[in-house]
């Protein structure tokens, strides 16, 4: 979805409406948000925010994927998170950015001028409540990712990343997560290796193994078909509901 398309789409018809920070807003609250919002587009590889920069906006990813990275003093960089559609960018009450944010694919954001958003948030419980829910979900995801990186095998790590992307992709459609899914993988093999703490060779080998065993099929370089989501959950060490097996 492009900025030009979104300019003619009302908030009620936004593709991330039911998951974004505005999910609980009433019509008057949406109108208030509409008065301080604007759309921005970024090309794949473009820097959105540099760590330490003063942020004059916050916003939600509408389409595309971005990465959160941290860079050490000696230049080493670690990917610490993914921003998927409906994820919130920026932190009210904090002037500077804590991470580098880089567009992995072409990306569109729904941005809000920061000070007006903070003022609106203070007098709009629905926005504050939804942002709290999203923050807690992000905390849960971070704890889950600690398990992925610390305890799972290389095959389970790859399967876990695929389930995360598949579930989020499915959550943006009316039918939600179904047993058979097809989605585009937004990350290169190199980016997957960086995010998972694996070598490029290991990522390629495990992707090939999942394909050989019928867990996934590859349609081109990035298009992935999952014939049985329950089996992918099992490969990730998760149950069919997406939780961890006891």
Each residue's pLDDT tens digit, 109-121: 999 999 999 999 9
Order across the sheet with 88-89: list the strands. 37-42, 107-113, 57-63, 88-89
Do 109 and 191 reside in the same domain of the chain? no
pLDDT at residue 245, rounded to an integer: 37
Domain boundary among 125, 143, 161: 143
pLDDT at residue 209 tops 80: yes
Do 189 and 225 reside in the same domain of the chain? yes
If phi > 0 it is left, if psi is from -120 to 50 it is alpha, else beta; for residue 245 that is: beta
Do 139 and 160 reside in the same domain of the chain? no
* 227 class by beta-carbon count within 10 Å (0-12 exposed, 13-18 middle, 19+ buried): middle
Do 133 and 190 reside in the same domain of the chain? no
pTM for the whole structure: 0.81
How confident is the model over 131-141, as pLDDT tens digits?
Answer: 999 999 888 88
In three-state secondary structure terms, 167 is helix
Q: How many domains does the chain have?
A: 2
Do 20 and 130 reside in the same domain of the chain? yes
3-state helix, strand, coil in the chain (%, to 5): 40, 25, 35
CA–CA separation, 152 vs 159, rounded Å?
A: 10
CB atoms inside a 10 Å sphere around CB 41: 18
Highest mean pLDDT, choosing among 153-157, 182-186, 237-241? 153-157
Do 66 and 107 reside in the same domain of the chain? yes
* CATH number reported for the structural domain that contains residue 179 in this entry: 1.10.10.10
pLDDT at residue 243, rounded to an integer: 46
Do 10 and 89 reside in the same domain of the chain? yes
More reliable by pLDDT, 2 or 182: 182
pLDDT at residue 153, rounded to an integer: 94
CA–CA separation, 159 vs 163, rounded Å?
A: 6
In a domain, 94, yes or no: yes
Q: Distances in Å between the alpha carbon of 131 and those of 19, 118, 121, 136?
A: 11, 12, 9, 9
Do 94 and 28 reside in the same domain of the chain? yes
Domain boundary among 91, 117, 143: 143
Q: Name the residue range of residue 167's domain.
A: 153-235
In a domain, 52, yes or no: yes
Do 103 and 214 reside in the same domain of the chain? no
CA–CA separation, 38 vs 7, rounded Å?
A: 9
**What would the mean pLDDT of 78-94 be, rounded to a whole number?**
88
In a domain, 242, yes or no: no
* CATH number reported for the structural domain that contains residue 115 in this entry: 2.60.120.10
CA–CA separation, 180 vs 76, rounded Å?
A: 39
């Amino acid at each position: 979805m492009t900025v030009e398309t979104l300019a003619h789409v009302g908030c009620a018809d936004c593709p991330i409406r039911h998951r974004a920070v505005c999910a609980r807003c009433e019509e008057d609250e949406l109108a208030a948000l509409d008065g301080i919002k604007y759309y921005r587009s970024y090309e794949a590889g473009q820097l959105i925010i540099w760590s330490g920069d003063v942020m004059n906006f916050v916003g939600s990813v509408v389409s595309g994927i971005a990465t959160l990275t941290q860079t050490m003093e000696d230049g080493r960089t670690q990917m610490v998170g993914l921003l998927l559609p409906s994820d919130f960018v920026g932190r009210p009450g904090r002037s500077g950015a804590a991470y580098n944010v880089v567009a992995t694919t072409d990306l569109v954001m729904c941005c809000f001028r920061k000070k007006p958003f903070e003022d609106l948030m203070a007098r709009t419980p629905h926005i504050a409540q939804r942002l709290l829910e999203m923050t807690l979900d992000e905390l849960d995801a971070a704890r889950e990712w600690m398990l992925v990186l610390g305890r799972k095998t290389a095959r389970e790590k790859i399967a876990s990343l695929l389930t995360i992307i598949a579930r989020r992709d499915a959550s943006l459609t009316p039918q939600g997560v179904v047993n058979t899914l097809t989605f585009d993988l937004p990350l290169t093999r190199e980016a997957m290796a960086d995010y998972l703490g694996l070598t490029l060779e290991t990522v390629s080998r495990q992707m090939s193994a999942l394909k050989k065993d019928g867990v996934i099929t590859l349609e081109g370089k990035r298009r992935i078909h999952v014939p049985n989501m329950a089996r992918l959950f099992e490969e990730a060490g998760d149950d069919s509901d997406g939780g961890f097996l006891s």
